[in-house]
Structure 1
Amino acid sequence: MVFLLVGCGGNNETEPSDTKNDSNMNEESQQEKESDSTEHASMDHSSSGEVPENLAKEDNPTYPLGSEAIMSAKHMKGMDGAVATIEGAYHTTVYAVTYKPTTGGEKVENHKWVIHEELENAEEAPYAEGDEVVLEADHMNGMDGANATIDSAQNTTVYMVSYKDTETKKVVKNHKWVTEDELSPVE
């Protein structure tokens, strides 16, 4: 997992070719990458592609597996306008949540998205705005096990997608989740 975080650290600077300072520059560059990956660890939205066992596949999704769509999601920089390849389509209740990371730091407000099957001991009925839950999602560092409040709930089709970040040009694999209303056909 660490290699993904470093790979998506966002450090786009190139090193000078001055050979007598290469050793120092490499050490400084590595420290910058490690620092940047720590600061931006929560922005790495790649995943293994594993989904909860009880997550229901969408039988007839608007965007079938392997098709492409344009994202209008703004969960993180580089998503809006990116061409997404559909890796999976599922029918569930999706939530925006506010939570305090288990790793410390600032409260994350209105995080989009966590699905019903990623909540600890989830009841059968969907949760409503204001309900308190415990997250089992691991999309971001400090999310798994965090206490959260439901900000909104929507019964819809969610998609796992892969795409090239429009800003960094890095490939994000198996991003969880994008809702159907955040996608539009490729023209």
Structure 2
Amino acid sequence: MIKKKFQLSALSAVAAFTLAACGDSGEPQMTQETEVEAPEKTTEDASHGDHSTMDHSGSGEIPEGLEEAADPTYPKGSTAVITADHMDGMDGSEATIVGAFDTTVYAITYTPETGGEPVENHKWVIHEELEDPGSEPLAAGDEAVIAADHMEGMNGANATIDSAEETTVYMVDFKTADGQEVTNHKWVTESELAAE
């Protein structure tokens, strides 16, 4: 009972402070809310974009035309350590390999179809997740339309290729540092995995 009264008193004090800070002088007034600055973007945010809307788990569906790797370094069912930081808690996690595929992988910049700021250097989209890309790999500076939905507003968006690499990509299951189970995550490249 005392705790509830204290919480109500604290809430009343905050509300009174906020109301008192709103004057009619026409000048913007400082409140507790405006004094708190938004966190600065980290290197991960700046290079990979905001992945808060990314669907890190997937259906496991393979894009049409994607070829399984004949002799991958990490075969299906094996485990490896992830050395990438596409999302919080990913780096250092143990991954179980769900599938290994040979393709061209792209880092891309695009503006979501749903609007908002451009997503820069998003990793990764593969050749088979682009609309009619042709049989030859694209190069940095080329443009394409995305046919994947790893993030909200991605599918159908125009993209500029930032980098391209022919490699083996992996679909993986893993658990983040905070215990979140991620299944059928697309994609981790071979260079983003290490033997245990």
Same fold (TM over 0.5): yes
Structure 1 position 135 matched with structure 2 position 143: no
Separation (CA, whole Å) in 2 of partners of 1:44 and 1:136: 15
Cα-to-partner distance string for 1:130-153 (whole Å, 9 max, x where unaligned):
001100011111110010000000
Separation (CA, whole Å) in 1 of partners of 2:112 and 2:88: 20
State which drifts further: 173-182 or 73-82.
73-82
Separation (CA, whole Å) in 2 of partners of 1:129 and 1:40: 22
Q: Is there any run of 5+ residues in structure 1 with no aligned partner, and where?
A: 1-17, 19-38
Q: Is there any run of 5+ residues in structure 2 with no aligned partner, and where?
A: 5-49
Give the counterpart letter for 2:92 in structure 1. Answer: G
Question: TM-score if structure 2 supplies the norm length?
Answer: 0.73
Separation (CA, whole Å) in 2 of partners of 1:72 and 1:40: 17
Residue matched to 1:107: 118
Which of 151, 175, 181 is equivalent to 2:185? 175
Is 2:107–2:164's contact at 8 Å kept on the other side of the alignment?
yes
SS at match of 2:191: helix
Deviation at 1:77, TM superposition (A): 1.3
Alignment of 1:43-82 (within 5 A): 43-82=54-93
Is 1:41–1:141's contact at 8 Å kept on the other side of the alignment?
no
SS at match of 2:53: helix
Which of 71, 81, 100 is equivalent to 1:89? 100
Deviation at 1:41, TM superposition (A): 4.7
Residue matched to 1:147: 158
The root-mean-square deviation of aligned C-alpha atoms, in Å, is 1.4
Residue matched to 1:163: 174
Give the counterpart letter for 1:141 in structure 2. Answer: E
Separation (CA, whole Å) in 1 of partners of 2:76 and 2:162: 29
Is 1:136–1:144's contact at 8 Å kept on the other side of the alignment?
yes
Separation (CA, whole Å) in 1 of partners of 2:64 and 2:195: 29
Deviation at 1:43, TM superposition (A): 3.5
SS at match of 2:135: coil
Is 2:51–2:151's contact at 8 Å kept on the other side of the alignment?
no
Deviation at 1:53, TM superposition (A): 2.1
Give the counterpart letter for 1:120 in structure 2. Answer: E
Give the counterpart letter for 1:146 in structure 2. Answer: A
Separation (CA, whole Å) in 2 of partners of 1:116 and 1:60: 20
Separation (CA, whole Å) in 2 of partners of 1:110 and 1:40: 12
Identity of aligned residues (%): 63
